[in-house]
Chain A
Amino acid sequence: MTGTYLLRGGRLLGAGDPVDLLLAGGVIAQVGAALSAPADAVHVDAAGLVVLPGLVDLHTHLREPGREDAETVESGSRAAALGGFTAVHAMANTEPVADTAGVVEQVWHLGREAGYVDVHPVGAVTVGLAGTRLAELGAMAGSAARVRMFSDDGRCVDDAVLMRRALEYVKAFDGVIAQHAQEPRLTAGAQMNEGALSGVLGLRGWPAVAEEAIVARDVLLAEHVGSRLHVCHVSTAGSVEIVRAAKARGVDVTAEVTPHHLLLTEDVVAGYDPVFKVNPPLRAKSDVEALREGLADGTIDAVATDHAPHAAEDKDCEWEAAAMGMLGLETALPVVAEAMVATGLLDWAGVADRMSVRPAGIGRLAGHGRPIAEGEPANLTLVDPHASTVVDPSRSASRSRNTPYAGRTLPTAVVATFLRGVPTVLGGRLVADAR
């Protein structure tokens, strides 16, 4: 059910004059003013809306296989589409771990069946995420899932030799190692950002240096072996500085930041509500400012959600017993709008670059993050810049409810999402059976 759609009067990347877009055969067939469309074309009023390339998430936990009570590929795909995404990378820390061609193909197939977004499995770097020997990276790269990003996310590849070998090995198929930078010994039992507040609250601290020490080591390793490194969820001012200096030296390093690290500070931990427990932890205001600055100047390449659904019983408990992570797919764009657009740090072209173009490049996704032009794949997101999103956890498409923004009103709203010319979301609601 491809169909033909005429998007009328949207503004590309929120700038210039309103234009019409004719989507047919999965591509953008025509771009121009007052286009005439075939009689059977569905008209979509895009007046006043911002047209963005479909968003691409480098960091999503879809929990399937293993924790289907918290999320499935299907439910997570729906949440992604509602958030304006057309492609997501599904992290490997499932049960079983996505460390073989078989598991990554299973996830990839589930994504195709769901049909709301392109689901690109991330392969584990080490067998079982155990950090002792390399998983069959080549087999995953050569599988139907065509894995290009590898990560032990949730755990750090802290063994320097293993990290070096992984960085070297994936060069054979243009892969990238996405590192969850967390020195394990410095963060044993860590509960929140280490600082004055952790001392007062009596919660074990997760010091910034535990992230920065790994980021610094990894950029040096990547520089030494001439490999591509991606740093997951950068959370500290010091990490931003290390990445900035490495890029200035020409190191092939990219970095992502989560929406929550752009908006929330550690202060919210004071009530011990585990909905704010996340790894890496929420940091200080000065870190948030440095992250925003880093994203604005391009030191940080991408916004990645680290969407981490958790079942109610894993959050409805005491802080120390609670699981780490928060939902992110449905709120990512409004949060970025609040943290970056409303503050004047990014315009919509900048949002498109950090949430679509660059993440697609890092993940080596050919059909995403493309210019909005004739002949390009019709992966598009329509955003109402003047609307607002009121976050109601009970209405989330995710199977989980652990959003840190419950009750909050955020600027902008995703109105429509098109995946290869087919709407997955229209009027802010999922299109039933988008396939």
Chain B
Amino acid sequence: MKRHLLSAADLDRDDALLVLDTATELATVSSRAVRKLPTLRGRTVVNLFFEDSTRTRISFEAAAKRLSADVINFTAKGSSLSKGESLKDTALTLEAMGADAVVVRHGASGAPYRLANAGWISGSVVNAGDGTHEHPTQALLDAYTMRRHLSEGRGDLADRRVTIVGDVLHSRVARSNVLLLATLGAEVTLVAPPTLLPVGVEDWPCEISYELDPALAKADAVMMLRVQAERMNAAFFPSAREYSRRYGLDAHRMALLPDHAIVMHPGPMNRGMEIAADVADSVRSVIVEQVSNGVNVRMAVLYLLLGGAQLPTGEEVAA
């Protein structure tokens, strides 16, 4: 493993499998009655959130606490960040506080790279979502979820077919997923109107389709991306209704999926836009499970980056 997790591309196949296997092991441990491991006791993990994302912050916070790390939350609301304190000044403050890992969420693509590489801090940096760039721990939890349902919870995702649908252009989830799924051997198809695909997407390690239906029949997993209705104001598509009709997943379309296929969504969902309510709540949907898997995967990432002394063997402490 590299010292930072900034992009899903930072993980080669062995690294990715190590994270997933470690997450599997940690899941076993933390499903027991006592859910706290001493592994990162005395280490400090800072959640640095320049963007509001309660769900991701809580997930990282739970992960760090279950490993007994000290957790400091820096969020835009209620801190100096909202008054325009610079990324650099914030980083220097965190360094002075002795942060061993900084989990950063930022609206600007590449902000975690600056934190990791500008010489401001010495700890590990975990990208918890940067602009329209990447969200590698989301990709890891998605892969973990797919592996549980499609590969009996072990090994890679070789030959599994994953269809990712929606606003790829603005999606950090899509970028990280395409990279990680390719590393794990899956066949990925991106489905979107041409306006919501980045220039150069034809060079990505995946297939491209402008039509959803043909991509559903062969999918083992379909992942619906959040699409903001306001995108229509910038002419990415004519109307929410047209988008939904052409690219939304409703019950009718879901019926095109093979019986074993799962439905995923990174959240938060726009019910009625990219995903119909009855699909989101159907038995095929693993959307709620994605959330709980997120904690295990983030525990694994923090554990591996901070070099926890030994693999947790189930040695438990009183919480």
Contact = CB atoms under 8 A, between A and B. Distances in A.
A320 B109 contact: yes
A318 interface: yes
B132 A202 contact: yes
Interface in A200-216: 200-205, 207
A272 B110 contact: yes
B109 A195 contact: no
A199 interface: yes
Given A316-B118, A317-B88, A201 B200 contact: no
Interface string B110-142: 110110011000000000001111100000000
Contact of B109 (A194, A196, A203): A203
A3 to B, nearest CB: 48
B305 to A, nearest CB: 20
B175 A195 contact: no
Contacts of B111: 272, 318-320
Contacts of B108: 318-321
Given A202-B130, A318-B108, A272 B114 contact: yes
Contacts, number: 77
Interface residues of B, number: 26
A316 B109 contact: no
Given A200-B200, A272-B109, A318 B87 contact: yes
A271 B113 contact: yes
B117 A198 contact: no
A317 B114 CA distance: 7
Contacts of B201: 199
Interface in B59-99: 86-88
B138 to A, nearest CB: 14
Nearest to A197: B200
Given A203-B109, A318-B110, A198 B88 contact: no
A270 to B, nearest CB: 9
B131 A271 contact: no
A196 to B, nearest CB: 3
Given A202-B131, A320-B108, A196 B113 contact: no
Contacts of B134: 202
A195 B114 contact: no
B203 interface: yes
A199 B88 CA distance: 26
B61 to A, nearest CB: 23
Contacts of A198: 198-200
A40 interface: no
B57 interface: no
A317 B50 CA distance: 14
A196 B133 contact: no
B39 to A, nearest CB: 32
Interface string B189-211: 00000000011110110000000
A211 to B, nearest CB: 16
Given A313-B86, A318-B87, A202 B109 contact: yes
Nearest to B170: A202
Nearest to B203: A196
19 contacts: A194-B199, A196-B203, A198-B199, A199-B198, A199-B201, A200-B200, A202-B110, A202-B172, A203-B110, A203-B132, A272-B111, A273-B114, A317-B86, A317-B87, A318-B114, A319-B114, A320-B109, A320-B131, A321-B87
Interface of B: 86-88, 106-111, 113-114, 117-118, 130-134, 172, 175, 198-201, 203-204
10 interchain residue pairs of minimum CB distance: A196-B200, A199-B198, A272-B110, A202-B133, A320-B108, A202-B132, A202-B109, A318-B111, A318-B108, A272-B113
Given A271-B117, A318-B87, 12 more contacts: A195-B200, A200-B204, A201-B109, A202-B134, A202-B172, A203-B131, A316-B86, A317-B86, A318-B110, A320-B107, A320-B131, A321-B108
